[in-house]
Homo-oligomer: A and B are copies of this chain.
Amino acid sequence: MRTYLECMPCFIKQSLEAARMATDDEEVQTKVLKEVMGHLQDISLTSSPPELSRDVHEIIRRITKTKDPYKKVKDQSNEMAQKEYPRLKKLVGESDDSLLMAIKLSIVGNVIDFGAMNRFNVDDMIDNAVKREFDASAYPQFKSVLEQSETILFLADNTGEIFFDKLLLKELVKRQKQITYVVKTNPIINDATVEDANLAGIDKLATIIDGDSGQKQSAPGMVLSYASKEFLEIFKSSDMVISKGQGNYEGLSDVTRDVFFMLVVKCPLVAQDISSEVGKLILKVK
Give the interface of A toward B (CB within 8 A): 5-6, 8-10, 12-13, 16, 26, 29-30, 33-34, 37-38, 40-41, 45
Can you list 26 A-B contacts (CB < 8 A)? A5-B16, A5-B26, A5-B29, A5-B30, A5-B33, A6-B13, A6-B16, A8-B12, A8-B16, A8-B33, A8-B37, A9-B9, A9-B10, A9-B12, A9-B13, A9-B16, A12-B12, A30-B45, A34-B40, A34-B41, A37-B37, A37-B38, A37-B40, A37-B41, A38-B38, A38-B41
Q: How many copies does the complex hold?
A: 2
| CB nearest neighbor in B for A41 | B34
Complex Cα–Cα for A12 and B16 (A): 14
| CB nearest neighbor in B for A19 | B5
| CB nearest neighbor in B for A36 | B37
How far in angstroms is the closest Cβ of chain B from A10?
7
How far in angstroms is the closest Cβ of chain B from A61?
18
How far in angstroms is the closest Cβ of chain B from A32?
9
Complex Cα–Cα for A26 and B6 (A): 12
Complex Cα–Cα for A33 and B10 (A): 13
Chain B residues within an 8 Å CB radius of A40: 34, 37
Complex Cα–Cα for A8 and B9 (A): 8
Q: Which 7 A-B pairs have the closest CB atoms?
A: A37-B37, A9-B9, A9-B13, A9-B12, A34-B41, A5-B16, A8-B33
Chain B residues within an 8 Å CB radius of A5: 16, 26, 29-30, 33
Q: A9-B16, A38-B41 are in contact. List 17 more A-B contacts (CB 8 A).
A: A5-B16, A5-B26, A5-B33, A6-B13, A8-B16, A8-B33, A8-B37, A9-B9, A9-B10, A9-B12, A9-B13, A30-B45, A34-B40, A37-B37, A37-B38, A37-B41, A38-B38
The residue among A10, A29, A34, A38 with the most chain B CB atoms within 10 A of its own CB is A34
Chain B residues within an 8 Å CB radius of A34: 40-41
| CB nearest neighbor in B for A26 | B5
Complex Cα–Cα for A13 and B5 (A): 9
Complex Cα–Cα for A33 and B41 (A): 8
Complex Cα–Cα for A13 and B26 (A): 22
